Structure 1
Amino acid sequence: MQLILLERIGKLGQIGDIVTVKDGYARNFLLPKKKALRATEANKIYFEQQRKSIEARNAEQIKAAEKVAKQTQGAKVILLRQAGETGQLYGSVTSRDIAVELRKQKIQVRRGNIILDSPIKEIGIAKVKVSLHADVIIEVDVNVARSAEEAQAQVITAVKLFESKELAEAAEAALSDEPAEEEAAEEAGEEAGEEVPEEASEEESKEKGEPEDASEKEAGKAKK
């Protein structure tokens, strides 16, 4: 089915683009959510007439999404679940669970805003994307644990791992910079035309009248 997009849809296209999608995707999502219009001749004319107002409305939606993004900044979701000794959950954590917990923190999101490829099925901290708008996507930490103490321990471990990673990256960067500095110094010397002077030979020194070494003078006197 051919549609005219009324807002940017992921990798599908921008506002005003005419795209071809599967009928089910169009009927079940894009059309009922008013994210697109059927690409009929009448709708094409209508869209061009309303383009400015549609783009203005989209800009307002982006501003509203950015406002929610600021509220969500630093938000953390802690979900306590039962799990076995290996950390496997007796059940799973879904996008609905995450959305409900965020709403408890007065962050207005819906289940459809949560981007979760598959339910979370083990304890740990996962970074989950939240799409507030096609142009505004944020990340929240979802901490799944068996108890509040375990959740806190997981945070401490994650911080230590992050710090260790930063130190390792800094050390690696420092090591990789050293050869670059040496090469830069060599190149600078070559550009300046500097040459390392060679030691003059003994004959050249005599021709130039350079003084002999003290030990050589004493050896000459002894021969005489």
Structure 2
Amino acid sequence: MDVILLERIAKLGQMGETVKVKDGFARNYLLPQGKALRANEGNKKRFEAERATLEARNLERKGEAQTVADVLGGKTFLVVRSAGETGQLYGSVAARDIIEVLSAEGFNIGRNQVDLNTPIKTIGLHSVTLHLHSEVEIEIQLNVARSAEEAERQAKGESLTSADAIYGVDEDALRPEDFFDPEADQDGDDE
């Protein structure tokens, strides 16, 4: 199906372009969301008549998104979760959790604006991309930790999942002789 784009859509085209898309994508997403019109003579005339209004509205949205991006860009947000000694979370941090953290800080971000391919399942510093507008994209840091104190240590670059952090032992100083005695089983008995 040929459609006229009413806004820039990543990997598809710019505002005003006529592009060919699959029928289901047009019927289920582009047309109901008001992102495109069917490409026919009536809609082409309608688009040209409303072009200035659409461009002004798009520019206004982009400006608002850029303002939020300037405030949010490069910020680190703390997410406290229960985790095992190896750093594996009991559960995960998904897009809805990120939305909650951002809304607690006063930012109104939609779930569809968070680009998180798979949920976060380990403690540590994680980068998350936010698509605030089709032309405005930023990256924020999530500091996932078991407590605020651990988050501070992580932010300084300390690893909380190494043997040193877990057992209080320097990983580089560990030797096999520290764990078993090679002289103990000389007779070949497995007992």
Q: TM-score range by the shorter chain?
A: 0.7 to 0.9
For residue 133 of structure 1, what is the amino acid of its counterpart? H
Identity %: 52
CA distance in 1, matches of 2:3, 2:114: 25
The Cα offsets for residues 157-178 of structure 1, whole Å up to 9 and x where unpaired, read as 07xxxxxxxxxxxxxxxxxxxx
How do residues 16-95 of structure 1 correspond to structure 2 at under 5 angstroms?
Answer: 16-95=16-95
For residue 142 of structure 2, what is the amino acid of its counterpart? V
Where 1:125 maps in the other structure, the secondary structure is strand
Structure 1 residues 151 and 23 mapped into 2: Cα distance closer, same or farther (>3 Å)?
farther
Structure 1 residues 8 and 91 mapped into 2: Cα distance closer, same or farther (>3 Å)?
same
The Cα offsets for residues 84-111 of structure 1, whole Å up to 9 and x where unpaired, read as 2221222111111111211111112111
Structure 1 residues 21 and 50 mapped into 2: Cα distance closer, same or farther (>3 Å)?
same
Structure 1 residues 142 and 16 mapped into 2: Cα distance closer, same or farther (>3 Å)?
same
Where 2:7 maps in the other structure, the secondary structure is coil
Q: CA deviation at 1:29?
A: 2.6
CA distance in 1, matches of 2:139, 2:77: 11
CA distance in 2, matches of 1:21, 1:85: 49
> What is the number of residues matched between the two proteins?
158
Higher fraction of helix: 1
Q: CA deviation at 1:30?
A: 2.1
- TM-score where L is the length of structure 2: 0.77
CA distance in 1, matches of 2:25, 2:88: 34
How do residues 133-212 of structure 1 correspond to structure 2 at under 5 angstroms?
Answer: 133-157=133-157
Unpaired runs of at least 5, structure 2: 159-191
Structure 1 residue ranges, 4+ long, deviating more than 4 angstroms after superposition: none
Where 1:10 maps in the other structure, the secondary structure is coil
CA RMSD between the two structures: 1.6
For residue 16 of structure 2, what is the amino acid of its counterpart? G
CA distance in 2, matches of 1:141, 1:32: 33
CA distance in 2, matches of 1:55, 1:96: 31
Unpaired runs of at least 5, structure 1: 159-224
For residue 114 of structure 1, what is the amino acid of its counterpart? V
Q: CA deviation at 1:74?
A: 4.1
CA distance in 1, matches of 2:112, 2:127: 17
- TM-score where L is the length of structure 1: 0.66
For residue 123 of structure 1, what is the amino acid of its counterpart? I
The structure with the larger Rg is 1
CA distance in 2, matches of 1:77, 1:136: 20
